[in-house]
Structure formats: structure tokens, C-alpha cells
Amino acid sequence: MSTRCGFVALAGRPNVGKSTLVNALVGGPVAAVSPRPQTTRRAIRGVRTRGENQLVLVDLPGLQRPRDLMTERMAKRLAQEVEEADHVLMVVDAAQGIGPGDRYLAETLKRLGAPTTVAVNKIDLLSKVRTAEALLAAERLEVGEEIFPISARTGEGVEALAAHLESLLPEGPHLFEPQQRSDQPLELQIAEVIREALLNRLYDEVPHASEVAVEEVVQREGGRWYIKAAIWVETDSQRAIVIGKGGRMVKAVGTAARKALELLLGGPVYLELTVRTRKGWRGEPAALSQLRIE
């Protein structure tokens, strides 16, 4: 059986629903989904494997007119990612309407000569008439050959879009195992967030040897995430620092981590955080400091 595999780069203003669409295409949480603009500054790949087809999705940062160094860098990154991709999927927000930001992006993609498909997202919020109007507005962008009305939230139109993208894939070997959804496991992404919250508060005091181990990740009914993680340190005195007076430090770390995790996962998070000393930990009670954060 000949296999097909390719990179699809998602382009679109912040908040149009790119991360949500990656999750819908992949069939599970991969990318940061957030109600706040610009949550995604890194390219996050989602992988969708169905039969012989493998779509590797790159979630691009939102493009803004170059205003400062950061947005200029983001624009450069976008050009680079677009070049490396086989196809570009431009996402617009039908509910908010197509605006100057979309037109600027469309012009940029045309200038880069990027083969593009347009997804008109959030049609679940619109009547049929307003959806039709949004499709016409998307046509006037004059970018790409095909336009798909979708709702990344409800999944409407997503399979039709996926089938179109799959039909464009070049022949080639799959780059990821079929069960792999991301090039970075969710547990690792979660551990990174917790570690960052820890280092933000204890930059000098916490040894680089400290580690975060994610022990359990469960999404319960109603979308609530239950996460159990341990912060490992090397000595008891380091443990005392991480725990803080009356548990204040670990509580602050846990609260900051929980908020960031809610952005990453797009839902409420219940975090159970434990601090453990690596040396001789087997002889100690399993939970030296156990804290539940909601």
C-alpha cells in the first residue's frame, strides 16, 4: 500500500480557532486552546493518521502587521513555516467576520505563493444566511482554491475539510506512529508547564536537577482534567524550600501551574502536586507534601 504524508500549516488571526481545529482533526487535545489571543507562540504539531493518509499539522502563531521585534519575528517564522509546509490552511472566524487582519494574512500567503485552502470557522454561531455571507467574504480574499464552512467546536464540516486536505497529500512514508497525536506527548507538555511555574518562583534556589514527573492525566466527565504530578528534588532542605513556610510556596506554584494548564488543555483542571526527595525516597512516606489545587 502506498502511503501519503504531508505538512499542513494552519494560518489565521489569533482566536479564530486554529488550536481547536487541530484538536478536532486529530481527535484529542494537542495544542493550546484558549479564549485569550496569542496563546500559541510555538509551532505545535498535531498528527492525524487515517489509513494510508497522515496529516501533520503545524499550528502557526497569529500574524500581525510587523510592529515590534516580536511580531516581526513571528512574521518571519510564519514565512518559514509556510515554506516548509506542503499546504496552508487559512482559518477565518465567520462569527467575528473577515477583517483587515485576514486580508493582510491572505495577501501575505499570496505573496509567498502558498497553496492554500480556507476554512470558515465557527459557523455553529451563525444562521445559514450569515454563513453564506461569510463564505462570500472569504471568496473575496481571493486566496486558495477551495473554501470550507466548518465548526471546529461541533465538528461540522471538519471531515469534509480533512478529506480535501488528505487528497492533496504527497506520496511518502508516514513520519509518526499511527497512535501518536503530537510530536510531544501531553504528559511532557504538562510537566513543562509545571516546571516553568516552579522555576519562575524559585529560579536560584531550585537545583537544575529538580524534575517534574506527571503521574496521572485523566479527563473526567464534564471536561474536567485531573492531573497528578510530583516535583522531585535532591535533598530534604531543597524540599523544604519548594514546600515553603506552611506550604505556601508549593501552593503558589500549583496555583500558577493550574492556571497555565487550563489554558493548555482548554478546561478546568484539578491538580494534585507532591514534593519528593529523590535520595532515599523509598524509605519515606509516599506523599511528603500533598496538595490539591482547584
Binding site for ligand GDP (CB under 6 A): 12, 14-20, 33-35, 39-40, 121-122, 124-125, 151-153
- CB proximity list for 4: less than 8 A, separation 6 or greater: 52, 53, 54, 166, 169, 170, 171, 172
| Cα 153 from Cα 25, distance rounded (Å) | 11
Q: Cβ atoms within 10 A of the Cβ of 47, count?
A: 23
Please give the DSSP secondary-structure letter assigned to residue 247.
G
> CB 91 → Mg ion: shortest distance, Å?
10
The nearest distance, CB 59 to ligand GDP, in angstroms, is 6
Q: How far is the CB of 266 from ligand GDP (least distance, A)?
A: 7
Cβ of residue 257: shortest distance to Mg ion, in angstroms? 20
Distances (CA, A) of 215 to 155, 177, 188, 231, 247: 31, 23, 11, 11, 21
Q: Of the candidates 192, 156, 234, which has an alpha carbon nearest to the alpha carbon of residue 42?
A: 192
Grid cell locating 92? 477565518
Residue 274 interacting partner from Mg ion, ligand GDP, none (CB closer than 5 to 8 Å by kind): none
> What is residue 54's three-state secondary structure?
strand
Nearer to ligand GDP, 5 or 190 (CB): 190
Contact partner, 12, from ligand GDP, Mg ion, none, Cβ < 5-8 Å per class = ligand GDP
C-beta of 3 vs 219, nearer to ligand GDP: 219
**Residue ranges binding Mg ion (CB under 5 A):** 18-19, 40
Q: Which is nearer to ligand GDP, 31 or 253 (CB)?
A: 31
Q: Which is nearer to Mg ion, 37 or 155 (CB)?
A: 37
